[in-house]
Amino acid sequence: MSEEDIQQAEEQRIEEALASSDIAIKVCGLKNSFGDQVVHEGLDLDVYRGEIIGVVGGSGTGKSVLMRSIIGLQTPDEGEIHVFGENMVGRLDDEALAIRKRWGVLFQGGALFSTLTVAENVEVPIREYYPNIGGTLRDEIAAYKIRMTGLPTEAGPKYPSELSGGMKKRAGLARALALDPDLLFLDEPTAGLDPIGAAAFDEMTRKLQQTLGLTVFLITHDLDTLYSICDRVAVLADKKVTAVGTIPELLATDHPWIQEYFNGPRGRAATAAVEREKNRAADGQPDGRR
């Protein structure tokens, strides 16, 4: 067998393994660069079905670029990205489109269409992909999606410019969930929210993920989010995913950035908060009365 044949057989094998396996997203050897500046080089990442994976990294390490590469807004220089077993790089055909329908994206600012009301925003993906769904049913679907993300009913006919930052994010999430995606991308969902709003958003993400069986790809800076809802955390540093695992696993590594991230003052505060929460749950008693 020539080298090419071996390579082809290998690719075939990987593809078959992917199609059947529990991996939702597989990124292999990703390279992204802007001009001379290389953002990613040889980046590998697996995201399992039904997990919430948190992606962290310092500013400028390319967290958003990684997300944009996976959802096809940024064509990588090299590498492969498999979503549900299909290679998505540079694909525009019907099969790729079918995969696209299976994910929803929440952009940082919500990215709502400013000329449409919140409810109409939610209806856009349904109208676009499933014109067979009638107007009344579509309105009803938009209505329960809006309620599902915890928005008040009065928010439906409002325009995005009339909403607060947190409401915009919820409305963006309602739109991302419009087609009942299997895969949800969240770009810094709690950035700019007050602690109560952020905690509520985390709680809602967790609940939706459990009810709908979602896989969630979550970019965040928020340590509380990582501790409270993420199953695994992927750390972007040195142009690749340097470590991926649960937080205790990450704490066991000796990468300086990871240590500083989790053991810095904010990291320790978040850990302490989680500990307190656990103790309270174990004792069934209010804080500090043991």
Partner 1 sequence: MNKAADLAEDRNDGSSVIRLSGSLAIACLSDLPDRLEAVQGPVTAIDLSDVDHMDTIGAWTVHRTAKRLNCQITGGTEDARRLVDAVGQLDEPVPIRPDYVHPVSRVVGQIGEAVTAAGSTLVGLLGFFGGTLVASWHIIRHPSRFRLNAVVQRFEVVGVSALGIIGLMSFLIGIVIAQQGSVQLRQFGMEMLTINLVGRLTFRELGVLMTAIMVAGRSGSAFAAQLGTMKLTEEVDAMRTIGVSPMEALVLPRTLAVVVMMPLLGFYASIMSVIGGGFLCAVALEIPPITFIQRLREVVPITDLWVGLIKAPVFGIIIGLSGCFQGMQVKANAEEVGLRTTAAVVQAIFLVIVIDAFFAVFFTWVGWN
CB of 173 to partner 1, least distance (A): 14
Q: Do 195 and 112 meet the contact criterion of CB atoms below 8 Å apart?
A: no
Region from 38-46, 122-130, 225-233, 254-262 binding partner 1, contact rule CB under 8 A: 122-130
- How far is residue 166's CA from residue 208's CA, in Å, rounded to a whole number? 17
What percent helix, strand, coil does the chain show, rounded to 5?
45, 20, 30
Region from 10-18, 147-155, 226-234, 262-270 binding partner 1, contact rule CB under 8 A: 147-155
CB of 133 to partner 1, least distance (A): 7
Lay out the site mask for partner 1 across 15-54 (x = CB under 8 A, - = otherwise). ----------------------------------------
Provide the 3-class DSSP secondary structure of residue 102.
coil
Provide the 3-class DSSP secondary structure of residue 192.
coil
* Interacting residue with partner 1 among 36, 60, 211, 289 (CB under 8 A): 211
Region from 11-19, 85-93, 145-153, 245-253 binding partner 1, contact rule CB under 8 A: 145-153
- How far is residue 125's CA from residue 151's CA, in Å, rounded to a whole number? 19
CB of 156 to partner 1, least distance (A): 4
In sign, the C-alpha dihedral spanning 170, 74, 99, 243 is negative
User: Applying CB under 8 A, does 157 fall inside the site for partner 1?
Assistant: yes
Region from 13-21, 117-125, 230-238, 249-257 binding partner 1, contact rule CB under 8 A: 117-125
Query: In sequence order, which ranges of the chain are alpha helices (DSSP H)?
Result: 3-20, 63-70, 94-100, 118-129, 135-148, 165-176, 195-212, 223-229, 247-252, 256-263, 265-283
Positions that interact with partner 1 (CB under 8 A): 101, 114, 117, 119-120, 123, 126, 130, 132-134, 137, 139-144, 146-148, 153-157, 161, 179-180, 211-212
